[in-house]
Structure 1
């Protein structure tokens, strides 16, 4: 697979043609960059002419129909392979769920982004393709984050099912006693990220697993709305592309100025869980993320009970009633400019 990759510089096409397995191979690009295929959708680059100070993971396609981040990452991979982007940092690209990418669906059997941090090994659930893939991706993350003394970053890139009052936003994993860094908030703001959600509890998402287990600066980054392959306007992600290229090509992490008055910060105040089969939201299915509600306003019904907004201005994010019983149906957030940052 390495020779076609070097010739065609299209890792996305190679992944879609070989969605279940690629044999491990490695080679060198013009004596300055090592390239390693670890598996289908897993590609690692290491600079040979500079000692990297950071290990960076750029994942996309954890949900197969979220195509804009996949296309963006494929552009970055092509730039590296064609020597338009010369690396100074080590980077692993992950296309998370190739079979779902082929199907054009969020997942095949089960939501991959609910299976990390060991959830894939839950003995009470039958295994499936997504659970096997989550186990592999966790092992690759462990293998990648082995060096000591380097900074670790993980940007898990997504697009949302519905529109949003903030087109691009980031979910910051729960880090008790360890505030998120102003430098990272400023970096993502310069990349076009408009708002930040500070999570309130451990989860089984990919970004939480890398943050909790490897102390990576990790974020789930939402980049607009779901669109099919070929229908994304990647010019809307130009700022993100520029900042990622700078992160990969520079000897030090880019450090834009932090402007507290320009940061839009939200605190996740609770999760709404679907507990009964009749769970249903009261609002339109196209209601944008971050729509605010008045205190006491009814958000959903289930089992004859109303679920209401508990605070004035409580906003809802990621509402999805079409999930299994016991899973999160939505996050509720409130604006909180006083969230501490380090």
Structure 2
């Protein structure tokens, strides 16, 4: 498999052709970069002639229909294999859910991005392929981060189901004892991200698991709207591509100035969880993320009761009334420029 990859330089094609399993193999690009295939959709690069200072995970395809980040990462892999990009840092690529990528669906049985931080082993829920995949992906990230005392980064790349008033935004995992770094927000802002959501609670997302388990600087990064393979305008992600190339090919993390005037910080004030089957939103299905509401305005109905905005300017993100009972149906956020950063 790895020799085929070195010849064709198309990791996406190889992954989709082998969605269940690929055996572990090792090779090298010339004499400067080690290449390790750990499993289907899991590829690791290691510089051989320099001493890396960072371990970087770029994951995409955790939701199979979020294709732009997958195509972006596949381009980066192609350029590394073709020696157009020479790495200075250790780098892991993950295509998260190949079966869902083939089907063009968000997931096959269960939302993979709700199964990390040990949730895959919940004894009250029957196992399935997504739960098994989550367990494997966590083990691969642990293995990748355990190999040395380097700085750790994990950018979990997604696209959103609906349009957004912020085309590209990031979710910052909950970590109350450790403020997020201005350096990281400046880097993502230079990569085209202009809004940041500071989460208010522990979750079972991939980025949260890397943050809490391995103390990585980790983010869920939304890079536009869901589109099928081949229909993405990757020129819209030129700034993202440029900054990712910089962080993997430079000997030190890019030194950028934090410019608060160029971004918006949001604080998650609550989650709207679905408790009854009749849960429904009071707005149309095409309402963009970050649409603001007046205090007291009705957001949703459940069990014949209205759910209203608690704050002036409260905004909705990721609304999805079709989630299973017990899961989050939306995040409610408010802008807050007083959020503490390090």
Task: Tell me the TM-score range normalised by the shorter chain.
Answer: over 0.9
* In structure 2, C-alpha distance between the alignment counterparts of 1:100 and 1:327, rounded to whole Å: 20
Return the offset for 1:304: 1.0
Match of residue 273 from structure 2: 273
Matches within 5 A, 1:1-342: 1-342=1-342
* In structure 1, C-alpha distance between the alignment counterparts of 2:117 and 2:302, rounded to whole Å: 30
Return the offset for 1:148: 3.6
* In structure 2, C-alpha distance between the alignment counterparts of 1:60 and 1:260, rounded to whole Å: 28
Return the offset for 1:255: 1.6
Q: SS in structure 2 opposite 1:232?
A: coil
Q: SS in structure 2 opposite 1:330?
A: strand
Q: SS in structure 1 opposite 2:130?
A: helix
* In structure 2, C-alpha distance between the alignment counterparts of 1:187 and 1:303, rounded to whole Å: 44
* In structure 2, C-alpha distance between the alignment counterparts of 1:177 and 1:209, rounded to whole Å: 16
Return the offset for 1:195: 0.4
* In structure 2, C-alpha distance between the alignment counterparts of 1:74 and 1:271, rounded to whole Å: 34
* In structure 1, C-alpha distance between the alignment counterparts of 2:283 and 2:121, rounded to whole Å: 36
Return the offset for 1:262: 2.2
Measured against aligned partners, the alpha-carbon deviations of 1:107-142 in whole angstroms (never above 9, x if no partner) come to: 000000000000000000000010000000000011
Return the offset for 1:180: 0.3
* In structure 2, C-alpha distance between the alignment counterparts of 1:95 and 1:192, rounded to whole Å: 22
* In structure 2, C-alpha distance between the alignment counterparts of 1:263 and 1:126, rounded to whole Å: 42
Return the offset for 1:309: 0.4
**Is the Cα contact below 8 Å between 2:295 and 2:312 reproduced in 1?**
yes
Q: Which runs of 4+ in 1 moved over 3 A?
A: none
Return the offset for 1:147: 3.1
Q: Which moved more, 1:100-109 or 1:298-307?
A: 298-307
**Is the Cα contact below 8 Å between 2:29 and 2:81 reproduced in 1?**
yes
Question: Please, what TM-score do these two structures have when normalized by structure 1?
Answer: 0.99
* In structure 1, C-alpha distance between the alignment counterparts of 2:137 and 2:24, rounded to whole Å: 14
* In structure 1, C-alpha distance between the alignment counterparts of 2:116 and 2:177, rounded to whole Å: 22
What value does the CA root-mean-square deviation take over the aligned residues? 0.5
* In structure 2, C-alpha distance between the alignment counterparts of 1:328 and 1:23, rounded to whole Å: 36
* In structure 1, C-alpha distance between the alignment counterparts of 2:260 and 2:105, rounded to whole Å: 38
* In structure 2, C-alpha distance between the alignment counterparts of 1:128 and 1:210, rounded to whole Å: 22
* In structure 1, C-alpha distance between the alignment counterparts of 2:259 and 2:322, rounded to whole Å: 39
Return the offset for 1:99: 0.1
Return the offset for 1:259: 1.2
**Is the Cα contact below 8 Å between 2:194 and 2:262 reproduced in 1?**
no
Unaligned runs of 5+ in 1: none
Measured against aligned partners, the alpha-carbon deviations of 1:241-287 in whole angstroms (never above 9, x if no partner) come to: 00000000000000211112222100000000000000000100000
* In structure 2, C-alpha distance between the alignment counterparts of 1:180 and 1:247, rounded to whole Å: 18
Return the offset for 1:177: 1.6
Unaligned runs of 5+ in 2: none
Q: SS in structure 2 opposite 1:113?
A: helix
* In structure 1, C-alpha distance between the alignment counterparts of 2:211 and 2:47, rounded to whole Å: 24
Q: SS in structure 1 opposite 2:232?
A: coil
**Is the Cα contact below 8 Å between 2:26 and 2:34 reproduced in 1?**
yes
* In structure 2, C-alpha distance between the alignment counterparts of 1:60 and 1:149, rounded to whole Å: 25
